[in-house]
């Protein structure tokens, strides 16, 4: 079985407050993009009859990713294997295309793909809602990744309202070679006075009206207030996008990924060619909005 696991960007991200449990109340507009990992699920052949019951192995085409319980794909499979006492063996192979720890939900989307795959593969009969409840135990972005497409995400990210996916915008995505800790960004945000909150109401209205001219105007991410002062490369990449024809540009999640939205594909392609030679971006992708599954 082969499953596509799509990356996400935030068209909008606002932090409404800090909760008693330490998490933050969020209001986000999430968008899947066509950039994806490919997850292969295969029954694992027994090695000399010695492999353990319910064994799960993970392999991956990149070296800097754990292939044990540290991998969210493994944890997703283990969660269902334990609950349903599955004794078969499973090999998970991850063809990793989504940059890691980049604000693109790479781990969450792999976990979501494995939950769906194991559910189908072993005929567990779990509904979308059942999968989302289990996915939330693995990460706040997993319920959205199970659904994909365009959605408003509230709470810690688990209260989802699907929206129509806008058509006709091209995404130029740039990932600088810098490390950002999501935990530290949220902690730092608690220490500052937020200068301005994004206008998510206008953003949602523009999406509802499929107004591709207006959507880029209302992109906004409150976490830029923490990450950009620490990493000026992000501001440089946003400026690059705007001066090369993007209609809007934003950091995704807690960073460091930056994307530009282009109304005209040829303009985006020209900017992509230039950005490929720009040292500010370690990885560059020309991609687009991905509609919801099904
Ligand atoms: P977050 O906002 O939760 O930090 P992110 O989208 O910025 O997520 P991810 O690519 O999900 O970043 O990686 C976050 C962490 O999750 C990394 O430290 C990585 O080692 C770990 N991780 C575990 N499993 C995976 C996986 N299958 N793909 C990517 N990262 C994984």
Render pLDDT for 95-114 as a digit per residue (tens, 0 to 9).
999 999 999 999 999 999 99
Q: What DSSP element (H or E) covers 39?
A: strand 24-43
CB of 100 sitting under 6 A from ligand 1: yes
The catalytic site residues sit at: 8, 141
On average, the pLDDT of the chain sits at: 95
Percent of the chain at pLDDT above 70?
98
- Each residue's pLDDT tens digit, 5-21: 999 999 999 999 989 88
Q: Give the per-residue pLDDT at 175.
A: 98
Residues 101 and 175 in one domain: no
Core vs surface per residue 9-25: b (16+ CB within 10 A) or e? bbbbbbbeeeeeeeebe
CA nearest to 251, candidates 232, 276, 265: 232
Cα–ligand 1 centroid distance for 196 (angstroms): 28
pLDDT at 45 over 70: no
The average pLDDT across 169-183 equals 96
Asked whether residue 249 is assigned to any structural domain, the reply reads yes
Prediction pTM value: 0.96
- Each residue's pLDDT tens digit, 178-194: 999 999 999 999 999 99
How many folded domains does the chain comprise? 2
CB of 105 sitting under 6 A from ligand 1: yes
Give one DSSP letter per residue of 143-199, joined into a string.
Answer: HHHHHBSEEEEEETTTEEEEEPPP-S-EEEEEE-S----HHHHHHHHHHS--S----
Residue 181's domain comprises 170-288
Q: Give the per-residue pLDDT at 9.
A: 98
The average pLDDT across 17-28 equals 92
Q: What CATH number is attached to the domain comprising 53?
A: 3.30.230.10
pLDDT at 279 over 90: no
Residues 137 and 211 in one domain: no
CB of 106 sitting under 6 A from ligand 1: yes
- Each residue's pLDDT tens digit, 195-210: 999 999 999 999 999 9
| 145, 163, 181 - which closes a domain | 163
Asked whether residue 294 is assigned to any structural domain, the reply reads no
Best residue among 31, 79, 107 to mutate for probing ligand 1's pocket (most ligand atoms within 8 Å of CB) is 107
pLDDT range class, residue 52, cuts 50, 70, 90: confident
Q: Give the per-residue pLDDT at 293.
A: 86
Q: Which atom of ligand 1 is nearest to the CA of 65?
A: 20
Residues 194 and 265 in one domain: yes
Asked whether residue 293 is assigned to any structural domain, the reply reads no
| 114, 139, 163 - which closes a domain | 163
- Report the helix count and the strand count for the chain, using DSSP H and E: 9, 11
Q: Which atom of ligand 1 is nearest to the CA of 183?
A: 4
């Amino acid at each position: 079985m082969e499953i596509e696991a799509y990356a996400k960007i935030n068209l909008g991200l606002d932090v409404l407050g800090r909760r008693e449990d330490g998490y933050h109340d969020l209001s986000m507009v999430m968008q899947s993009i066509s950039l994806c990992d490919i997850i292969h699920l295969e029954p694992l052949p027994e090695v000399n009859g010695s492999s353990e019951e319910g064994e799960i192995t993970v392999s991956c085409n990149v070296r800097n990713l754990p292939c044990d319980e540290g991998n969210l794909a493994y944890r997703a499979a283990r969660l269902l294997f334990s609950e349903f006492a599955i004794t078969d063996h499973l090999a998970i192979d991850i063809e990793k295309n989504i940059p890691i720890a980049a604000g693109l939900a790479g781990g969450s989307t792999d976990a979501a793909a494995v939950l769906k795959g194991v559910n189908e593969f072993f005929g567990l009969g779990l509904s979308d809602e059942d999968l989302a409840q289990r996915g939330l135990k693995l990460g706040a972005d997993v319920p959205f990744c199970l659904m994909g497409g365009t959605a408003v995400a509230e709470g810690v990210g688990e209260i989802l309202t699907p929206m129509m996916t806008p058509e006709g915008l091209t995404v130029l995505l740039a990932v600088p070679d810098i490390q950002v800790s999501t935990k530290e960004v949220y902690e730092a945000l608690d220490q500052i006075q937020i200068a301005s909150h994004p206008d998510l109401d206008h953003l949602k209205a523009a999406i509802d009206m499929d107004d591709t001219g207006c959507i880029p105007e209302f992109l906004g991410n409150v976490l830029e207030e923490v990450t950009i002062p620490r990493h000026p490369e992000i501001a440089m990449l946003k400026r690059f996008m705007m001066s090369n024809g993007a209609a809007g540009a934003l950091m995704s999640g807690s960073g460091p990924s930056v994307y530009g939205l282009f109304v005209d594909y040829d303009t985006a392609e020209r900017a992509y060619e230039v950005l490929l030679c720009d040292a500010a971006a370690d990885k560059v992708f020309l991609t687009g909005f991905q509609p919801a599954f099904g």
